[in-house]
Structure 1
Amino acid sequence: MKPILTIIIVLISTAAMAQQPDYSSKVKTIDSTIETLYAVISGEKGEARDWELFKYLFIPEAHLIPSGKNQEGKTGYRVMTPAQYVETSGAYLEENGFFEKEISRKTDRFGNIVQLFSTYESYHSEKDEKPFNRGINSIQLLYDGNRWWVLNIFWQAETTEFPIPANYLD
């Protein structure tokens, strides 16, 4: 009886693995990882996002941390897991259309760790000529010998008080 159960388990596991897309090419380089990060959240109104690919980019303990001023004018932040980001923002991005495009990048690397400042512009549609928002994503990456992982994304939108400095626009 045990050999039959083992065969069934192996067949079910093999079928499940065959159904999972192979995302490994998306995280082979720093460039491919960052390009995938921006691409996976971007899409026209009504266009579904690949949230499994989004989650695949991150280590299990990753955080997404938007910062800025609240309604009382106090600077603060919010910490989310990738799953919480999908829960709180996924429907909005798909219902309203959202494109985030990297326009500049400054990268610092030591060994297997990378910190980069990725300047972005946000649009509701790829057809839009002017962004409705700009800012800087501070992204930390780790290379584990096989692939790049996103550890954290900490960002701030541009404001009149904090315009993006010229050195982050070239």
Structure 2
Amino acid sequence: MKRSLGTLLILLGIGYHSSAQKEEYLSKVQTLDSTIETLYAVISGEAGEKRDWELFRYLFTADAKLLPSRANEEGKIGYRAMTPDGYIETSGNWLETNGFFEKEIYRVTETYGSLTHIFSTYESYRSESDEKPFTRGINSMQLMNDGERWWVLNIYWLGETEDNKIPEKYLPK
């Protein structure tokens, strides 16, 4: 009987921790700004720094997609569709091993009802102390507010290249 009681206490402790953590996470998705700030912050960190992948997953709807896009060797534009878990599987270890910071430098937001579309211009760094980014691009994000919180539905992104510079209208003034 003592073993069962001990197991129950452990499970209750885990449940309490998860509930408290969910409350903390909920505070990060109450505004559009806090949701976007959390998205950039959760993937960013110095080399060797673990990311909070549970928080990352919490930002997205169950069927959300992440869609990196780029030109192949022939110059044809394509994309790859991933779930948040797919992103973690393909990029998580690299981000934590090499260090990566993505910083929003400009944003254009359009909202209609519960639907919001954001063009978020970013710069990427290997370390927060880097003075110059190693790349830039635009994240096209679709978000929804269900009346209780913000959800990320999709992120489709394209990095800047020599042949495809970011238009001035998507850069800081």
TM-score normalised by length of structure 2: 0.90
Please state how far the C-alpha of 1:16 moved relative to its aligned partner.
3.2
- Residue aligning to 1:66: 68
Q: Give the whole-Å Cα distance in 2 for the aligned partners of 1:99 and 1:120.
A: 10
- Residue aligning to 2:137: 135
- Residue aligning to 1:28: 30
- Residue aligning to 2:93: 91
Structure 1 unmatched runs, 5+? none
The aligned length equals 165
Aligned-residue Cα RMSD (Å) equals 1.8
Please state how far the C-alpha of 1:11 moved relative to its aligned partner.
6.5
Q: Does 1:54 align with 2:52?
A: no
Q: Give the whole-Å Cα distance in 2 for the aligned partners of 1:141 and 1:13.
A: 34
Instruction: State the percentage of identical aligned residues.
Output: 62
Q: Give the whole-Å Cα distance in 1 for the aligned partners of 2:71 and 2:84.
A: 22
Q: Give the whole-Å Cα distance in 2 for the aligned partners of 1:81 and 1:149.
A: 14
Q: Give the whole-Å Cα distance in 2 for the aligned partners of 1:162 and 1:100.
A: 20
* Structure 2 counterpart of 1:145, from 128, 144, 147: 147
- Residue aligning to 2:159: 157
Structure 2 unmatched runs, 5+? none
TM-score normalised by length of structure 1: 0.91
Q: Give the whole-Å Cα distance in 2 for the aligned partners of 1:159 and 1:87.
A: 26
Q: After superposition, give the CA deviation of every residue in 1:30-53 in whole Å (9 maximum; x if it has no partner).
A: 000000000000000000000000
SS in 2 for 1:23: helix
Q: Give the whole-Å Cα distance in 2 for the aligned partners of 1:70 and 1:89.
A: 19
- Residue aligning to 1:19: 17
